[in-house]
Amino acid sequence: METKNKIRVLIAKPGLDGHDKGAKIVALALRDAGMEVIYSGLHQTLDQIIQTAIQEAVDVIGLSIMSGAHLPISEKLISMMKEKGIDDIRLTVGGVIPHQDIPGLKKMGVAKVFPGGTSFDDIISGMNSLFE
Amino acid sequence: MGVAKYTKDEKGAIKTVTYQSGIKVKPVYGPEDLEKAGFDYDKDLGAPGEYPFTRSLHPQSYRSRAWTTRQYTGFGTPAETNERFKLMIANGQNGLNVAFDLPTQMGYDSDHPLAQGEVGRVGMAVDSLKDFETAFAGIPLDRIGSGLTINAVATIMMAMYQAMAEKFGYSKTRISTTPQNDILKEMIGRGAWIFPVEHGVRLVGDSIEYAVKELPRSNPVSLCGYHIRESGATPAQEIAYAFEIAKAYIDNVVQRGINPSEFVGRFSFNFNVYGNMWEQIAKFRAARKLWAKMLKNEYGVTDKKKLFLRGLFGGGGSGLTKEQPENNIMRGAYYALGAALSGAQTTALCSFDEAYTIPTPRSALLSLHTLEILMDEVGLRDTVDPLAGSYFIETLTLEMEEKILEEMKEVEDLGGMVGCIASGLIQRKLSGQAYEFEKGLQSGEYKKVGLDPGSKDNDPGATNVELHEYNDKWAQISKANLKELKRTRNDKEVASTLKALENAARFDENVMPYLVKCCHAYATVGEMAGVFRQTFGEWKEPDFY
Amino acid sequence: MLKTKDILSGNKLAGARLIRFIEDNDPCAFKLLKELYPYSGNAFIIGITGPPGAGKSTLIDGLILEFRKYGKKVAVIAVDPTSPVSGGAILGDRLRMQRHAADDGVFIRSMASRGQAGGLSRATKDTALVFDAMGYDIIIIETVGAGQAEFEIAGLAHSIGVVSIPGTGDGIQAIKAGILETCDIFIVNKCDRPDADAKVLSLKMMLGMRKPDKTGWTPRIVKTIAPDGTGVKELADTFLSHFEFMEQNSSINEKRKELELLYFQSLLKDLTLEKILLFIKESKDFKAAAGKIKSRRMDPLTAAEKIVNKICVF
């Protein structure tokens, strides 16, 4: 059976922002890189994202955030992941992320940050590097 | 190079050029091209200000009046927004354009769990009529019109605007508001939808019908090709899909026994200037012509002014880069040049830092100055439609018209825009195109200056810009106001107006008059939208791959 | 470390991780499945199939809602095709069921077909076993039907619903392909379309020719409009009544036994194949043959034939 070591990714859009072009094209790029991508759809609560990550047994959660709320959202999600015992799932964050916020995100436990404009190649190799 | 496809020979000379809409560009154009395309001055151009308005809506265009500009305002609390409004009016602005925060756009009050961290972030937070009373206090509503960037709950905001004006003693017949109110494009691109497609369209229909009967100076719909383009559409699709969406709204209202002539003149459009400049110019000229032709031939509209494709050609967000953001100032200038050469009536530019954040006052001012330079220094007001008669531009305009019609036909053959959006056909097509385009950009097939594929120099995060900070006090103030409101208002009246609204929603009565009553009773946005959520359910987005 | 008792107690994280092991063909899954097996056999398994775009996911979203109203715990296995080019997949069926994501009594699992013919696999069966042991009352398996899948799903579910839509030949083609014998409930979705009645009529005609199946069940036709929920309650009730019907005449037991035998056979096939292939690939003969094929000294047909003949002496 052709099964081993497929990376499963949940691409999630937390909150009310509806700009989903970035999330969708990244999902397509990850699929074409051989990953299995679950897309949450828009307007998700953090609880829905956590439950989806659990049920789908993903390796990575990729948050797409364009509203500027990346710091509080990531912080809250990480604490919820710990609480649910899924902090072994890697968290990555993409979207409108200013340079000065990247160290803060990394410090709170975000594994990779992909600000808008990051190439597909860099996103894919960044994702793969989490599992080498 | 740019967003068009180029092939070159080994010496670097250009061999072929193909625009995004699929048009191939020749190295040289001459009179034979016009002849081949069947170009006819009277039929295809006509005098400026005459049908089919390819050249301009007005005979004297910028000679009589330079374009008008619009800036998007509104952030934080209604009180802060009110200060901004007053400042802008003092600076000579004759219209306001109001941005709402995401909870308001999605029909949630400031105390809803999903509103956490979002109150006042990307626009003004509105929970009830109290907030509108604060935001618009002291604004001469009979002189100043207001654009409201709101879609899923546009009916609620229109009703609230009327209720607020009435509280201040203005008759509803004297006020002017333009909600964006284009729910179908939200389902294609911007994502601020709530209700299922057919209920969304019905609400748009309700607001148009109400405007026809009760709000003679208001413009109920502003159609946004803009966001469709940002979602991956070609320039031809941008126009075609916006027109097909317009037809869906028109058809809904016509079914209510209202003649299109009574309302189509009050539609306005918002189109994108991003892309190859010649293609944009041809797009706008073709769009003016096609809109007029469509209204005349398909809907029997005859009054000249009602055939106008009025609107804003501007923005250009997709063209901006985060790398070397100063380049975006130059890009903006050329986008605006394209808009001016196509006779844009109204324009606005994205600010150079918009790839990052809400524009800062400094960057917003730079955009405004860019537009002033074009009109007041460069000479774009000198003559009407300076490119008319160009072998290239006229041929391209005709070809663009063909492409737009092809795209429209495809949608119509599939049963029209409502079905195409409900099933996700359009969204799938556009996300696929956006993906292919992005791959082309990353492989260097398309070119953006400052974005060198494969180079490690352009670390996308390697720019620091001044940021518009989020302030948590906005949420605290909004929540405190909401609590106070709920303590002091007449709960019985709120409940009975909401009940009446529910009946109207359920039994296909126009919801607008009921919403006005709810607003006067200080029902909240969340409560009114909640009635719709209960009655209509929520949309489930289709898959996109 | 995964524990059987966590899974049996319904712990979602434990269940989900076991399903992941199943999917990745991890050997530890086999042992756990053996431990879980005695606790399975209580769930009612529904198969939903039909062409792409027929509205299956939206219907299932509505079914979850209805089953939850009856207090049933519901698990969904949504199978989507793996891209044959990249080996990746976008699993988007749950997009339309996402409102149930945070409901304690609902578990939705997307699954890529990973190159299995027809889109269904042993992994689906194993996963259904996990859900069954976790205490889900109803398990819904969603799969894109394009001919073959209907037959595969018949080997997994107790009740099969086939979704078709008016204005397309899909339903009719499905019948031609033989679905008539395996389908229990025909779902005509998007019944607000003008030609819906014609569709229902043509289905009725086709069904008129069919005798009740060996359990005595006569297939039903249910009309639905998935987006606004029209007919979905009736559909849920029809599935439940099929279940009751099978329970009352005890045919459910026959069906369960039949499915277990099928499971046994497919396991036998997979395990034998895996073991023998592994054995062959490590043999000297295999390496020698591979070398000869590469240098074109032997054709692949002869090479394969020789090796198999050597092993299968009987």
H runs (alpha helix) in B507-545: 512-520, 525-536
pLDDT digits 0-9 by tens, C8-44: 999 999 999 999 999 988 889 999 999 999 999 999 9
pLDDT value for C147: 53
> Is C76 a residue whose pLDDT tops 90?
yes
Q: What ipTM was assigned to the predicted interfaces of this complex? A: 0.94
B354 has a pLDDT exceeding 80: no
Chain A partners within 8 Å of C110 (Cβ): 38, 56
Domain containing residue B200: CATH number: 3.20.20.240
Tokens describing residue C213: 């199946």
Same domain as B502, residue B429: no
CB-count exposure of residue B380 (10 Å: 0-12, 13-18, 19+): buried
pLDDT of B155 > 60? The answer is yes
Does residue B484 share a domain with residue B454? no
In this structure, the answer to whether residues B390 and B263 fall within a common structural domain is: yes
Going by pLDDT thresholds of 50, 70 and 90, the confidence category of residue B116 is confident
Say whether pLDDT at A1 is over 50.
no
**C107 in helix, strand or coil?**
strand
On the 0-12 / 13-18 / 19+ scale of CB atoms within 10 A, C256 is middle
B6-30 average pLDDT score: 96
Same domain, yes or no: B225 and B195:
yes
Q: Are residues B487 and B432 in the same domain?
A: no
**A56 → closest Cβ in C90, C110, C114:** C110
Are residues B240 and B194 both part of a single domain?
yes
In a domain? residue B286: yes
Residue B205: predicted pLDDT: 98
Confidence of residue B1 (pLDDT cuts 50, 70, 90): low
Residues 102-121 of C with CB under 8 A from A: 102, 107-110, 112, 114-115, 121
Max distance between CA atoms of chain A, in angstroms, equals 46
Q: Assign 3-state DSSP to chain B and report helix, strand, coil percentages, each to 5.
A: 50, 10, 40
Is the minimum CB–CB distance between C90 and chain B shorter than 8 Å? Answer: yes
Q: Is residue B160 part of a domain?
A: no
Tokens at A79, concatenated = 């604490």
Q: Predicted confidence band at B462 (pLDDT cuts at 50, 70, 90)?
A: very low
Q: Are residue B341 and residue B449 in the same domain, yes or no?
A: yes
Evaluate if residue C211 carries a pLDDT over 90: no
pLDDT in tens, B233-257: 999 999 999 999 999 999 999 999 9
Section C69-82 average pLDDT:
95
Question: Does the pLDDT at position B160 exceed 70?
Answer: yes
- Looking at residue B158, what is its pLDDT? 98
Residue C304: HSE in the Cβ half-sphere, 13 Å Cα cutoff: 4
pLDDT at B136: 96
Residues C105-126: what's their mean pLDDT? 81
Please state, in angstroms and rounded to a whole number, the distance separating the CA atoms of residues B177 and B534.
Answer: 28
Q: By C-alpha distance, which of B343, B316, B344 is closest to B331?
A: B316
Assess if residue B48 is contained within a domain.
yes
Which domain covers residue B386, as residue numbers? 5-66+180-405+414-464
Q: Among the listed ranges A72-76, B75-79, B342-346, B505-509, which one has the minimum average pLDDT value?
A: B75-79
Number of other CB atoms surrounding residue C46 within 10 Å? 29
Mean of pLDDT values over C140-161? 79
List pLDDT tens digits, range A65-90. Answer: 988 889 999 999 999 999 999 999 99
Q: State the pLDDT at residue B355.
A: 63
**Minimum distance, in Å, between the CA of residue B462 and any CA atom of chain A:** 6
Same domain, B460 and B527: no
Cβ partners under 8 Å of residue A8, min gap 6: A35, A36, A37, A38, A56, A57, A58, A59, A60, C20
Of the given ranges (A117-131, B224-238, B358-372, B523-537), which has the lowest mean pLDDT? B358-372
User: For residues A128 and A123, what is the distance between their CA atoms, to the nearest angstrom?
Assistant: 9
Tell if the CB–CB gap between B357 and A68 is shorter than 8 Å.
yes
Look at C53 and B423 and tell me if their CB atoms are within 8 Å.
yes
Q: Are residues B398 and B503 in the same domain?
A: no
**Which pLDDT belongs to residue C213?**
77
Domain match, B515 and B396 both:
no
- At residue C118, the pLDDT reads 41
Q: What is the pLDDT of residue B357?
A: 62
**Which CATH architecture is the domain A8-129 placed in?**
3-Layer(aba) Sandwich (3.40)
Over 70: is that where the pLDDT of B467 sits? Answer: no
> What integer pLDDT is reported at residue C151 of this predicted model?
61
Decide if pLDDT at B473 tops 70.
yes
Would you say residue B500 has pLDDT above 50? yes
- Residue B139 forms part of a structural domain: no
Q: Is residue B151 part of a domain?
A: no
Say what the pLDDT of residue C167 is: 74
Among the ranges given (B69-73, B228-232, B270-274, C129-133), the one the predictor scored with the smallest mean pLDDT: B69-73
Q: What is the mean pLDDT of chain B?
A: 92
d(CA C96, CA C92): 8
Report the pLDDT averaged over residues B274-285: 97
Average pLDDT for C183-211: 83
Query: Could A16 and B108 be called an inter-chain contact, meaning their C-beta atoms sit closer than 8 Å?
Result: yes
pLDDT for the residue numbered C178: 62
Residue A69: the pLDDT is 86
Give C193 or B310, the one with higher predicted confidence. B310
pLDDT of residue C146: 56
The residue of C61, C96, C110, C230 whose CB has the most chain B CBs within 10 angstroms, and thus the best one to mutate to test that interface, is C96
Residue A3 has a pLDDT of 43
- Same-domain status, B520 and B439: no
For the residues B478-504, what does the mean pLDDT come to?
97
CB atoms within 10 A of CB B5: 16
pLDDT at C129: 97
Query: Residues C145-157, buried b or exposed e (16+ Cβ, 10 A)?
Result: bbeebbbbbbbbb
| Residues B349, B293 within the same domain | yes
Neighbours of B267 (CB within 10 A): 24
Q: How many domains does chain B have?
A: 2
Helix locations, chain C, DSSP H: 4-8, 12-23, 27-36, 56-69, 122-134, 148-154, 170-174, 180-182, 196-208, 232-248, 251-281, 284-294, 300-311
Predicted confidence band of residue B2 (pLDDT cuts 50, 70, 90) = confident
Q: Are strands C74-80 and C138-144 parallel, antiparallel or unpaired?
A: parallel
Which among C110, C114, C120, C126 is the top mutation candidate for probing chain A, defined by the most A β-carbons within 10 Å of its own β-carbon? C110
pLDDT of residue C3: 92
Answer whether A73's CB lies under 8 Å from A38's CB.
no
The average pLDDT across C61-78 equals 97
Strand B24-25 with A112-115, pairing = unpaired
Which of B301-315, B418-432, B475-489, C113-127 shows the lowest mean pLDDT across its residues?
A: C113-127
Per-residue pLDDT band for C113 (boundaries 50, 70, 90) equals confident
Contact A73 B117 (CB under 8 A): yes
pLDDT at position B387, please? 97
On whether residue B107 sits in a domain, the answer given is no
Domain assignment present for B105: no
**Nearest residue of A to residue C278, measured between CA atoms:** A1
Token representation of residue B17:
């050029």
- Read off the pLDDT of each residue in A47-76 and give the average, rounded to a whole number: 95
